[in-house]
Amino acid sequence: MKAYRFPEGFNWGTATASYQIEGGKGGRAPCIWDAFCKTEGRVVNGDNGDLACDHFTLYKEDVKIMKDMGLKNYRLSIAMPRIFPGGQGPANEEGIAFYNGLIDCLLDAGITPCVTLYHWDLPLELEMEHGGWQNYITVERFLEYAEVCFERFGDRVKSWLTFNEPWCAAVLGYGNGEMAPGCTSSDAVKVYRAGHHMLLGHARAVEIYRKKFRTAQNGVIGVTLNCNWTEPKPSDDPETAKLNAEAAERSVLWNLGWFADPVYKGDYPEVMRNRCGDRLPEFTADEKALLKGSSDFFGLNHYSTDYAEDDSGPGHYVSHWGTVNTGGFWGDMAVRGSTDPSWAKTDMGWPIVPWGFRKLLLWIQARYSPEGGIQVTENGAAVNEPTVDLAVDDKARIVYYEGYLKEMHAAIQLGADVRAYYAWSFMDNFEWAYGYSKRFGLVHVDYNTMKRTPKSSLKWFSKVLSTNTLERRLWLDV
């Protein structure tokens, strides 16, 4: 039987993030998500991250599950409010001790940590005092914090990510308010400013790492960006089809190129600069030089695909809350997204379109030819699992993964230099504005008892990574 074999040395892993799993024990100060959760109507069921999966207490048990499944790589994030509770130094030793324990435990289990510095849990103090990512002061604090992390953990951590999905933090945090800190900006000025500051924070953190730590520590550092693939919405009218093709390309440039172009080419995509005018901040020559080449690899989080249509009307974004936003970020982009009725959907309502993953990987390879290759730092599916018995039998999740891995394999065959893949997520966790209502885990978590139960997808994934091969099933060929 034929099988999809991945390149020698391909890195398989699973991923999580601090706020989504740790809970607040052990001297973690409040972050913007704590405040957001406590604001009525923001998070489904009024859920919050006070306890989450209590990974703070149970991390040894969690690492044991990873070890038993043969996991080789694990992506985690550090909570800045544990290291800088008040938003600035000196470092809180209790927080340092927690991550030392976790990192050592992973290494003892033969698991290589990949560490994200910022996965959205900004110390609340920085938002209250300075307006968070609207203010360059936050960048300075982030850099001090990054340096503490390199200093204290870099002897053992050899793979760093500065930011997770700055798109989400900027657009959803400061544009439509779907995520913390829940700000809105109808002209998108706050969105572009937040993105700009995160890009500068990324580039300067990388500069610090390369200048002060790389020689001694010998690690790699990058940023990870999220993007859906956008496919032109088919149309029989050639003129409309052409406009839709342009809209699809514009959408990828807008959502991914916004961050990837500065990192690989030194500036924002031309289409953005043209359409946004002076609402999009500018980089100085020094900043451009610093940004260009500031990632040792291309980090990508990918989940889904949409159709794109040209839309020059008022910008709109139909969020999962049903709210419609006009103008701003989406108005600038002028792309209307939709789905095909034939596309199956995950429990998030996100279309399952494996071939979109292949197209996006090839698009990234063609535009950026990233030197250190592409690392897929997240991919996965939420499945409706109302009981643990249903969760354990998560065929739908396996089907999602099989489809996406098959297309990742195809992309590699066609020349995409993909070197790593992390499944989101190791375990069920706090799914941001959806609280605990959505489950992405390979491990089921009972939030009343904190009991962990591996799902079928965990066993399936453990086989993929131990054989470096995706088994070919009959249905995979149709």
Selected binder of ligand GBH within 431, 445, 455, 457 (CB under 6 A): 431
For ligand GBH, which is the closer residue by CB, 287 or 332?
Answer: 332
Per rule CB under 6 A, is residue 168 in the interface with ligand GBH?
yes
Selected binder of ligand GBH within 297, 400, 422, 424 (CB under 6 A): 424
Instruction: Confirm or deny that 133 is annotated as ligand binding.
Output: no
Q: Are 181 and 125 in contact (CB under 8 A)?
A: no
Size of the site for ligand GBH (CB under 6 A): 14
Q: CB under 6 A: which stretch of 149-157, 161-169, 262-270, 399-407 binds ligand GBH?
A: 161-169
Contacts of 401 (CB under 8 A, 6+ apart): 379, 380, 381, 423, 457, 460, 461
Per rule CB under 6 A, is residue 176 in the interface with ligand GBH?
no
Shortest distance in whole angstroms from residue 1 CB to ligand GBH: 33
Residue 168: DSSP 8-state: I
∠ CA 133-328-125, nearest 5°, is 20
Residue closest to ligand GBH, measured at CB: 226
Shortest distance in whole angstroms from residue 337 CB to ligand GBH: 6
Per rule CB under 6 A, is residue 303 in the interface with ligand GBH?
yes
For ligand GBH, which is the closer residue by CB, 92 or 379?
Answer: 379
> What whole-number distance in Å separates Cα of residue 121 and Cα of residue 54?
16
Q: CB under 6 A: which stretch of 3-11, 97-105, 163-171, 467-475 binds ligand GBH?
A: 163-171
Residue 46: DSSP 8-state: G
Catalytic residues, which ones? Answer: 165, 378
Cα–Cα distances (Å) from 414 to 264, 362, 408, 410, 411, in that order, read 22, 8, 10, 6, 5
Q: x-or-dash pattern for ligand GBH, window 318-337, by CB under 6 A?
A: -------------------x
Instruction: Confirm or deny that 119 is annotated as ligand binding.
Output: yes
With 0-12 / 13-18 / 19 or more C-beta atoms within 10 angstroms meaning exposed / middle / buried, residue 446 is middle
Cis omega before residue 181 (within 30°)? yes
34 forms bridges with which residues in the sheet? Answer: none
For ligand GBH, which is the closer residue by CB, 18 or 294?
Answer: 18
For ligand GBH, which is the closer residue by CB, 92 or 251?
Answer: 251
> What whole-number distance in Å separates Cα of residue 268 and Cα of residue 247?
17
For ligand GBH, which is the closer residue by CB, 96 or 115?
Answer: 115
Instruction: Confirm or deny that 432 is annotated as ligand binding.
Output: yes
**Residues present in the chain in total:** 478
> What whole-number distance in Å separates Cα of residue 80 and Cα of residue 121?
7
186-245 residues near ligand GBH, rule: CB under 6 A? 226, 228
> What whole-number distance in Å separates Cα of residue 112 and Cα of residue 242?
46
Per rule CB under 6 A, is residue 183 in the interface with ligand GBH?
no
Selected binder of ligand GBH within 134, 164, 244, 305 (CB under 6 A): 164
Cα–Cα distances (Å) from 183 to 49, 170, 201, 347, in that order, read 20, 10, 20, 27
> What whole-number distance in Å separates Cα of residue 107 and Cα of residue 63?
10
Per rule CB under 6 A, is residue 378 in the interface with ligand GBH?
yes
Instruction: Confirm or deny that 202 is annotated as ligand binding.
Output: no
Binding residues (CB under 6 A) for ligand GBH: these are 17, 20, 164-165, 168, 226, 228, 301, 303, 337, 378, 424, 431, 440
Q: Which residues are annotated as a binding site for substrate?
A: 20, 119, 164, 303, 424, 431-432
